[in-house]
Amino acid sequence: MKNLGVMLLAAALSIGAAADLYAQDVTARVQVCASCHGESGNSNTPLIPSLAGQPEFFLTTQLVLMREQVRPVAAMDGLLTGLDDAVLVSLAEYFAKMPAKKSDEIKDSERMARGKALSDGMRCTSCHGANLSGQEQMPRLAGQRVDYMVAAMKSFRDSTRPGADPLMANVVAGVSDADLQALAEYVSGK
């Protein structure tokens, strides 16, 4: 019985040590993410999306898709290789809890009004939520970087985004660059 107690104590200590290493690994990964996506997950880097406040399920799904190269993103190459699902879930959980901030990019009020009309007509809120903050597998658009949103919507429209949801490609099919800019400015200002 004495040996069983020692074994259980040793197992508990190893689990605790593993948990500490795991926490350190996630903390280190968050710092790597922050180098591009911003200290708090709010990007100030052109063409890099903000992660703060994104739905956890959406972030987890995107990380898995990138890790598995279903959605290849050159800037992410190698960063997710070998990470197990638990680490990806922890990263998603961390960024989902961070408060989202509006992009500080300059926006034109007339384009934003046009963007609102387009958003209403395209029914963006039916998938992305009433305040465009995302839900489940749908990303938060509110406050996202304008330049990133324009590039993302163009890649959906032009079918150049690997691993993308074809539904979104249908939504923006035929939308002009000027209207995509207006939409991006509107959602960024939410």
Confidence (pTM): 0.84
Phi/psi at 80 (5° precision): -110, -5
Please tell me the predicted confidence (pLDDT) of residue 59: 97
Terminal Cα-to-Cα distance of the chain (whole angstroms): 63
User: Residue 138 forms beta bridges with which residues?
Assistant: 135
User: Residue 135 forms beta bridges with which residues?
Assistant: 138
Q: Is the pLDDT of residue 175 over 80?
A: yes
CA–CA distances in Å: residue 134 to residues 5, 59, 139: 49, 11, 5
In the three-class reduction of DSSP (H, G, I as helix; E, B as strand; rest coil), residue 112 is classed as helix
Distance CA(112)–CA(51), nearest Å, equals 23
Question: What residue spans of the chain are helical by DSSP H?
Answer: 2-37, 56-67, 85-97, 109-122, 125-128, 146-157, 166-172, 177-188
Taking only the tens place, the pLDDT of each residue in 85-95 is 999 999 999 99
Region of poorest pLDDT, from 3-12, 18-27, 139-148: 3-12
Residue 170 tokens, joined: 């249908």
Question: What residue spans of 78-123 are helical by DSSP H?
Answer: 85-97, 109-122
Contact 153, 172 (CB under 8 A): yes
Please tell me the predicted confidence (pLDDT) of residue 26: 77
Give CATH 1.10.760.10 domain extents, the chain.
2-97, 109-188
In the three-class reduction of DSSP (H, G, I as helix; E, B as strand; rest coil), residue 76 is classed as helix
Please tell me the predicted confidence (pLDDT) of residue 39: 85
Per the rule left: phi > 0, alpha: psi between -120 and 50, beta: everything else, 41 is: left
Q: What CATH architecture does domain 2-97 belong to?
A: Orthogonal Bundle (1.10)
Taking only the tens place, the pLDDT of each residue in 26-79 is 788 888 999 999 989 999 999 999 999 999 999 999 999 999 999 999 999 889
Taking only the tens place, the pLDDT of each residue in 140-151 is 999 999 999 999
Q: Which CATH number fits domain 109-188: 1.10.760.10, 3.40.50.1000, 1.20.1250.20, 3.90.480.20?
A: 1.10.760.10
Distance CA(104)–CA(147), nearest Å, equals 11
Please tell me the predicted confidence (pLDDT) of residue 131: 96
